[in-house]
Chain A
Amino acid sequence: MKVYGPPWGKPIFSVDIHPDGTKFATGGQGEDSGKVMIWNMAPVLREDDEKNENIPKMLCQMDNHLACVNCVRWSNNGLYLASGGDDKLVMVWKRAAFIGPSTVFGSSSKLANVEQWRCVTILRNHTGDVMDVAWSPHDVWLASCSVDNTIVIWNARKFPEMVTWLRGHTGLVKGLTWDPVGKYIASQADDHSLRVWRTVDWQMEANITKPFSECGGTTHVLRLSWSPDGQYLVSAHAMNNSGPTAQIVERDGWKTNMDFVGHRKAVTVVKFNPKIFKKKQKNGSAPKPGCPYCCCAVGSKDRSLSVWLTSLKRPLVVIHDLFDKSIMDISWTLTGLGMLVCSMDGTVAYLDFSLDELGDPLNEEEKNSIHQNIYGKSLAITSTEAQLSTTIIENPEMLKYQQERQNSAQANLGPGSAGPESSAPKLNSVMNGESLEDIRKNLLKKQVETRTADGRRRITPLCIAQLDTGYGNTSLLLTSASKIEPMKALDSRFTERSKATPGVTAAISSIAGLTISALKDIKTKDDTSSDSEDKMASINKNLSFSKRKPETLMDGGEVVEKRKKGRPRKDKMAAPIAQPFTQPSRVAAPPAPPAALKLPTPSIKKAFSLQVSMEPAVFLEVENEVSLVAGSKLSQLRCSRDGRDWNTLLPSSVVTAAGSSSSLCLHRFDVVAVACQDRMLSVFSSCGRRLLPAIQLPTPVSALHCTAHFVMALTAGATLSVWDVQKQKALVKNESLLTILSGADTTVSQSLLTQQGVPVIGLSNGKSYCFSSSLETWTLIADKGDSLVQCADFRSCLPTQDALVSPGPLAVMQGRNLNAGRLASRLSSTPHHLQQSMTMAFLENQLASALTLQSAQEYRYWLLIYARFLVNEGSEYRLRELCKELLGPVHKSAATAWEPTTLGLRKRELLREVLPVIVENLRFQRLFTEYQDQLELLRNK
C-alpha cells in the first residue's frame, strides 16, 4: 500500500479511476475555486515510475468549478468525465483537441497540463450544491443529485438535454448508484431515506426508511453502492441499535435484514468491487463449486476503512488511522485488485490486493452468466459487449462487419474517440492550409474591422479552430419511439371541411398545409366534434390573414413543411384526406341508424368539396341538383387537377366522393369515385373518363375510398367491396362486417384502403381488421386493448436510423397506442422471461399483420426489429428458422414451394440485411457464417 498526496493539501472530496486504469481524477477544494485534477496512475502503481521525472504525475488540472467539487466520475467508455460541485453545476469534460501540453494563461505554475481536458457541457438545473453524479451502465444517462432535494437524469447522448427529475426526497440528496443491469437507480438522502427509482418510467420503486430513522449527525456525503451481481444495495450511514452501519438492502423485495457493523462513526462511502469473485482454488485440491461472492469497501467518518467479502461474516481487513480526517470516496480499479481512497485531509491512498486475499475474479462471461440466470438474457447481454469484443472472430466477413460497425460508431462519436494514440485529435483547422504563423504575421492587416453605428471600432475575430465538442449523432434509442408520433398527425386528416363554400375551399387548398396544422393543433386541445365551428373560424382566420399578407403565408408554409419532415409521403396521406366523411366523431355521434343499416351514412349536402391531394393539387367539387332538365335533377362533379378541370353530370345527388392521386408513380392510374343517393357508384379516370359502368350498391354507401387504382365502398348495410379498376376485377366482394362488428355498440370508427388495395377497418372497440383476399377472411391487425402491445418491450431493438422508421397502414392503425413498453413499468416485477415472451409474441403479430396488409416497408421494418430481438435474446431456433425461410432452397428443385419474394421484397436481400444484425451477437457467428456462405454461393451461381 502506498500513500499518495496531491500537493495542494486541500480536502479531496472525490476520486475515480479511469476505466482503462491509466489515470484517475480527483475533485475537491482548490485555492479559490473547485478543483478537478487528472493524475497519472503509473507513478502510483510503480515506484520506479514515481521516481522517474520524465513520467508526469499530474496530467491536467481544471479550475473551472467556482466552488468545491464534490464528485468526479468517468463515463463507462472513458471518454468523458463528469464533475459536480458546490457551484450547483455539473460539468462534463472531454479530452480536448489540441496537441501538446499547455499551461493556464497567466498561471505561474510550471506544471503544464500534459493532457487537455475541456469542459464540453455545463449542466445547469440544480438550485443547490451538487453532491454526487453517476453514469448509467452504457452511458445512456447521467444522474446528479443535489442539496436541492432532487435528482436530475440527463440524456448523456444529447447533453444538456434533461430526461427527468426524480423528486420525492425531503432532504439533501447525497449519494447515487445505478443498478448494474440498468433497471434502477438508488439514492440516499439526509431525510433518513434510501429510495430506489425505476428507469423505465422514473417512478419510485421503493422507499426504505427504517434503517435510517435513528441517523442523527449529518455526513458530507452518502455514497451508496450496488453490488456487481445486482443482488444487493449497500447504503452509507445507517443505524442499528445505536451503532453506525452500512445497511444491506436485498433486491428481492428490498428487504433490510443484514448490515455491515463495526465502524465507530457514520459510514460516508460504500463501494463495491466491480468484480465478482469465487474462492481461490488451492493447488492440488479438487475444484469445489464455491458460491460466487462480492467484495465491498466501506469508508467512514471514523477515518477507517473496512473491506468485506459477502462470503465472510467478518471484514477481510480493517485499516485504522489511514487518514487524519473522514474518508470521502473510494474507487476500485476495473481489475478489482486496486483501490484508491481519498480523504478530507487532502490525501489519496492506494491499496493493492492480491488474488489470494480476494479470490479469483470471475471473467466477464461467468459474470454475464450470473446476470443471465438472475435477470434473463436481454438485460445481461447488453452488459457484455466488452467481453464479446474479445471473442475470437472466425470469419473474415464477420470481422469486416464488426469493423464497419466500429468505424461507424467512432464516426458518430466524432474525433477524439479513438484509441489513446489518436486521442489527441487534430486541430479542427479552418485555415485552408495556411500555417498559424503565416496568419499571425498578417493578422493585423487582415482582420476585419468595422465601425458600429455609434462610431466604435468592432473587430471580427479570426476563428482559428472550431470546438470539437460534438457528441456525434448517436440518436437515443429511447426517443426513437417518439418518431412514431407523426403518425398521429394523420388522424387529424379525418376532418370535416365540407362547410366551406367552393370559393373558400380553393383558398384553403393553397394553404392546405397551414390549415391542416392549425386543425391539428386545435384537435389536440379539444377533440370533440362540437368545436368544428372553432376549427372553421381558425381556418378562416388563417385564410384572411394569408390573403392580406402573402409573405406571411410563405413563412407559414415553410414552417409547415419543416414540421412535416418524417411524416409519410403526401400521396399516401391522400387516401385518408380523400374521404372526409369518416371523421370518428361523425360516426360516433349520429342518430340511431335503422336496424338494417348498421353503419351511418353521410348526409346529403347541396354542395361540398374535398381535396384529394396537395401535390399535385387535386380537388373535387360536388354541386347537387344543379340544373333541371326536363324535370330531372342533375348533379355536377367537377375535378380540378393541377389547374386542369373536368366535370361531369350525374343523374342523382352525390352523397360522397373520393379520389386517388399519386405524384411519384409514372404509370399512375388514378381514379375518382362518387357514390350517389340512388346507391350507384361511378368511377372515373383522372381525366374524367368513366371507367366502369355504374355499380349498384346493395345499401347506401357509408364510406368510400380510392387509393391508386383501387376503390373501396363500405355500405350502410355493413358490407365491404373492393374493386381493382385497372384489372376490372373485384378483390373483395360484398363481404359482411358482421363477423367483426360483434357487440351492440361497436361501430366503424375508421376505414382506409392501402396502396395495395387492402381494406382496413378500425372499430370503436379499438380493434382494427383488414380483409385478406387471399385468406378470404377478416384478420385482426391491431388491438388497442391488447396487453401484448402494452407490455412488449422492444425498445432496445429499435433501429437508430430515422430512415428505418416506416410509415404505413399498420402504423396508422396502431399509431396512437403503439407506446410499446408503456405498461412494462407496471410489470417491473414481471419475470423477465414473461416479458420476453410477450415481446416476441407482439413482434410476431406485427410481422404477420404487415404481411396481411401487404405493407412491404413495414414488413421489412418489423422484420429487422424482430431479428434484432431474436439476436439479443439469443433465440437461436427462431432465428435459424427465419434465416432458412429467407434463404430458401439453395438448390433448385421442382417440388419447392418457396417464393423468392415476399411483398415484392427479395427475401435474400432481406437476409442480407438481417446478417449484419446477427453479427451484433458474436454467439451467432456460426449461424452468420453459414448463411453468409450460402448467400455467396447463390450469388456466384
Chain B
Amino acid sequence: MAKVQVLNVAVLDNPSPFGNPFQFEITFECMEDLPEDLEWKIIYVGSAESEEYDQVLDSVLVGPVPAGRHMFVFQADAPNTGLIPESDAVGVTVVLITCTYRGQEFIRIGYYVNNEYTEPELRENPPIKPDYTQLQRNILASNPRVTRFHINWEGSAERMEDCENVDPTSNSKVPPSCLPGKAPPLGILPDNSMDCL
C-alpha cells in the first residue's frame, strides 16, 4: 500500500494568461515518516502527437515528510513556447503532475488544459503563428485523472512490477493509458465532473 496518498490538488490562478506560472496546491497524507524526499514534477504535454514535445516545467523535492497531512504549493513557469509545435498551441492538451519516491513514480495526476484566445476576433481567425500573449490557459480542474502505481516504498532491491489501481474513474470512457501524450477533444469528456474541493 502506498505510504503517500494525495488527498487533493487545487489548481490556483486558473484560468490565467498563457504565460503565467502554473500553481498547484497539493495536499497529501503520509502514513509514516519518510526517510527520503518526494520528488514532484510538472510536465506539460506540448503535443498530443508525440511525447517528444513533453516539457518538464519544473521538479521539486519535498521534504522532510513526517507522518501526517501536509500541503504545499508547487509553482512552475509556463512552458517554453519555442518548444511547442505551432499547430498544437491552441486547443486541448494535458498537464501532468507526477510524484516519485526513491526514483519510482507512484502517482500521476493529469489535467486537461484548454488554450484559447479570449478575443472573439482571434478565436474566429486565429493567426498562423500563435500569439501566446493573447492565449488564455484554462485547466479543467474539476476533472483530475489519477493513476497510481505500486512501488517499493522500503527501498530494498526488490522491484514491484504490478501497477496498482489504474485510474479509479471506472466509469470514464477514456482509458487512462491514452492520457499522456494524447489529448482527446473536449467534446467526449465525461460531464460527471467532480469538484475536488
- Which residues of A are at the interface with B, using a C-beta cutoff of 8 A? 31-33, 63-66, 87, 89, 91, 102-110, 119, 122, 440, 443-444, 447, 449, 452, 456-467, 469
Between-chain CB contacts (< 8 Å), 8 pairs: A109-B168, A119-B31, A122-B31, A440-B71, A443-B71, A459-B62, A459-B74, A463-B66
| B74→A461 contact, CB < 8 A | no
Selected contact of A459 from candidates B7, B66, B72, B170, CB within 8 Å: B72
Residues of chain A within 8 A of B65, CB atoms compared? 461
Decide: A106 near B144, CB < 8 A? Known: A460-B63, A461-B62, A465-B68. yes
Say how far B29's CB is from chain A's closest CB, in angstroms.
Answer: 8
Selected interface stretch from B83-91, B125-133, B158-166, B180-188: B158-166
Selected contact of B61 from candidates A89, A458, A466, A469, CB within 8 Å: A458
| A456→B72 contact, CB < 8 A | no
Residues of chain A within 8 A of B8, CB atoms compared? 105
- Which residues of B are at the interface with A, using a C-beta cutoff of 8 A? 1-2, 5-10, 12, 23, 25, 27-29, 31, 37, 58-75, 109, 144-146, 150, 162-172, 190, 192, 194, 196
Beyond the given A460-B63, A461-B70, could you list 15 further A-B residue pairs with CB under 8 A, ordered by the A residue number?
A: A32-B166, A63-B168, A105-B196, A106-B6, A106-B144, A106-B169, A119-B31, A443-B73, A461-B28, A461-B65, A462-B72, A463-B69, A463-B70, A467-B67, A467-B68
Q: Give Cα distance in the complex from A459 to B65, angstroms.
A: 10
| A459→B169 contact, CB < 8 A | no
Q: Give Cα distance in the complex from A32 to B75, angstroms.
A: 33
| A32→B165 contact, CB < 8 A | yes
The interface centre, meaning the residue of A108, A110, A440 with most chain B CB atoms within 10 A of its CB, is A108
Q: What residue of chain A has the Cβ atom nearest to residue B147's Cβ?
A: A106
| A443→B69 contact, CB < 8 A | no
Residues of chain A within 8 A of B2, CB atoms compared? 64
Q: What residue of chain A has the Cβ atom nearest to residue B9's Cβ?
A: A105
Q: What residue of chain B has the Cβ atom nearest to residue A436's Cβ?
A: B71
Decide: A108 near B168, CB < 8 A? Known: A66-B162, A459-B74, A462-B70. yes
Say how far A527's CB is from chain B's closest CB, in angstroms.
Answer: 39
Selected contact of B150 from candidates A66, A122, A443, CB within 8 Å: A66
Q: What residue of chain A has the Cβ atom nearest to residue B6's Cβ?
A: A105
Decide: A119 near B170, CB < 8 A? Known: A103-B194, A463-B70. no
Q: Give Cα distance in the complex from A31 to B192, angstroms.
A: 20
Residues of chain A within 8 A of B194, CB atoms compared? 103, 107-108, 110
Selected contact of A105 from candidates B1, B74, B144, B171, CB within 8 Å: B144
Say how far A256's CB is from chain B's closest CB, in angstroms.
Answer: 41
Selected contact of A458 from candidates B1, B23, B63, B75, CB within 8 Å: B63
| A66→B70 contact, CB < 8 A | no
Residues of chain B within 8 A of A107, CB atoms compared? 146, 168-169, 194
| B37→A458 contact, CB < 8 A | yes
Say how far B145's CB is from chain A's closest CB, in angstroms.
Answer: 7
Residues of chain A within 8 A of B12, CB atoms compared? 444
Residues of chain B within 8 A of A102, CB atoms compared? 7
Residues of chain B within 8 A of A461, CB atoms compared? 28, 62-63, 65, 70-72
**Pairs of residues from A and B, 10 with the lowest C-beta to C-beta distance, nearest first:** A106-B146, A461-B70, A465-B69, A108-B169, A458-B61, A444-B73, A107-B168, A461-B72, A457-B60, A64-B1
| A440→B70 contact, CB < 8 A | no
Q: Give Cα distance in the complex from A461 to B25, angstroms.
A: 11
Q: Give Cα distance in the complex from A275 to B72, angstroms.
A: 53
Q: Give Cα distance in the complex from A458 to B1, angstroms.
A: 26
Decide: A459 near B61, CB < 8 A? Known: A119-B31, A464-B70, A467-B31. yes
Say how far B91's CB is from chain A's closest CB, in angstroms.
Answer: 24
| B109→A106 contact, CB < 8 A | yes
Decide: A108 near B171, CB < 8 A? Known: A89-B1, A458-B60. yes
Decide: A119 near B1, CB < 8 A? Known: A107-B169, A463-B69. yes
Q: Give Cα distance in the complex from A201 to B173, angstroms.
A: 57
| A91→B1 contact, CB < 8 A | yes
Q: Give Cα distance in the complex from A458 to B170, angstroms.
A: 35
The interface centre, meaning the residue of B67, B71, B162 with most chain A CB atoms within 10 A of its CB, is B71
Selected contact of B1 from candidates A65, A443, A460, A466, CB within 8 Å: A65
| B146→A464 contact, CB < 8 A | no
| A464→B1 contact, CB < 8 A | no
Residues of chain B within 8 A of A444, CB atoms compared? 12, 23, 73, 75
| B68→A104 contact, CB < 8 A | no
Residues of chain A within 8 A of B58, CB atoms compared? 457
Residues of chain B within 8 A of A31, CB atoms compared? 165, 168, 170
Selected contact of B170 from candidates A65, A108, A456, A460, CB within 8 Å: A108
Say how far B87's CB is from chain A's closest CB, in angstroms.
Answer: 30
| A466→B67 contact, CB < 8 A | yes
| A63→B165 contact, CB < 8 A | yes
Q: What residue of chain A has the Cβ atom nearest to residue B195's Cβ?
A: A103
Q: Give Cα distance in the complex from A122 to B67, angstroms.
A: 14
| B7→A105 contact, CB < 8 A | yes
Residues of chain A within 8 A of B169, CB atoms compared? 106-108
Say how far B161's CB is from chain A's closest CB, in angstroms.
Answer: 12
Residues of chain B within 8 A of A104, CB atoms compared? 168
Say how far A72's CB is from chain B's closest CB, in angstroms.
Answer: 15
| B61→A457 contact, CB < 8 A | yes
Q: What residue of chain A has the Cβ atom nearest to residue B60's Cβ?
A: A457
Residues of chain A within 8 A of B70, CB atoms compared? 461-464
Q: Give Cα distance in the complex from A104 to B147, angstroms.
A: 12
Residues of chain A within 8 A of B63, CB atoms compared? 458, 460-461
Residues of chain B within 8 A of A33, CB atoms compared? 164-165
Say how far A101's CB is from chain B's closest CB, in angstroms.
Answer: 13
The interface centre, meaning the residue of A66, A105, A106, A444 with most chain B CB atoms within 10 A of its CB, is A106
Q: What residue of chain A has the Cβ atom nearest to residue B39's Cβ?
A: A456
Q: Give Cα distance in the complex from A444 to B8, angstroms.
A: 16
Residues of chain B within 8 A of A66, CB atoms compared? 1, 150, 162, 164-165
Residues of chain A within 8 A of B59, CB atoms compared? 456-457
Say how far A32's CB is from chain B's closest CB, in angstroms.
Answer: 5
| B73→A106 contact, CB < 8 A | no
Q: What residue of chain B has the Cβ atom nearest to residue A62's Cβ?
A: B1
Say how far A457's CB is from chain B's closest CB, in angstroms.
Answer: 4
Residues of chain B within 8 A of A462, CB atoms compared? 70-72
Say how far B108's CB is from chain A's closest CB, in angstroms.
Answer: 10
Q: Give Cα distance in the complex from A835 to B170, angstroms.
A: 61
Q: What residue of chain A has the Cβ atom nearest to residue B192's Cβ?
A: A108
Say how far A428's CB is from chain B's closest CB, in angstroms.
Answer: 8
Residues of chain A within 8 A of B23, CB atoms compared? 444
Selected contact of B146 from candidates A105, A109, A463, A467, CB within 8 Å: A105
